[in-house]
Amino acid sequence: DVQLVESGGGSVQAGGSLRLSCAVSVSSANDYCLGWFRQASGKEREWVGSIGTDGTTRYADFVKGRFAISKDNAKNGNTLYLQMNSLKPEDTAMYYCAALWRGLAGGSCPVVAAQYNYWGQGTQVTVS
């Protein structure tokens, strides 16, 4: 079964940085679209960015130039990262990683949360 476990959240001052990690327990992370979403209190979950099976990254306009997604397919496990720089108070939210199996199909990763099959439990980011 696919399991996703986020870590790295916390409190930071505006202008600061955080790096979120997501341990992805799959045999081959390259077969999956891996995405980051966030949900602020009282708001709907929104797409932050994603990395496709070919390593292509895409970002929501509100994080372009500030956030970066990467992944590490190490022998002892797969990890998805979200490096967040120049954080703003409006970035405060619960951050989730998500996975969608693509296999050989490839293609762009969806930006709609409902299209992802697997989710982590989330990690809180608070910017003040």
Tens-digit pLDDT profile for residues 73-120: 877 779 999 999 999 999 999 999 999 998 877 778 999 999 999 999
Q: Which two tokens stand for residue 95?
A: 């951050």
Residue 44: its pLDDT value, please? 96
Residue 62: its pLDDT value, please? 95
Q: Which two tokens stand for residue 87?
A: 């954080």
Residue 19: its pLDDT value, please? 98
* Higher-pLDDT residue of 17, 72: 17
Residue 24 binned pLDDT confidence (cut-offs 50, 70, 90): very high
**DSSP state string for 88-125:** -GGG-EEEEEEEEE-TT---PPP--GGG--EE---EEE
Q: What is the pLDDT of residues 29-72, one digit of tens each?
A: 888 999 999 999 999 999 999 999 989 999 999 999 999 999 99
> Rounded to whole angstroms, how far apart are CA atoms 8 and 99?
18
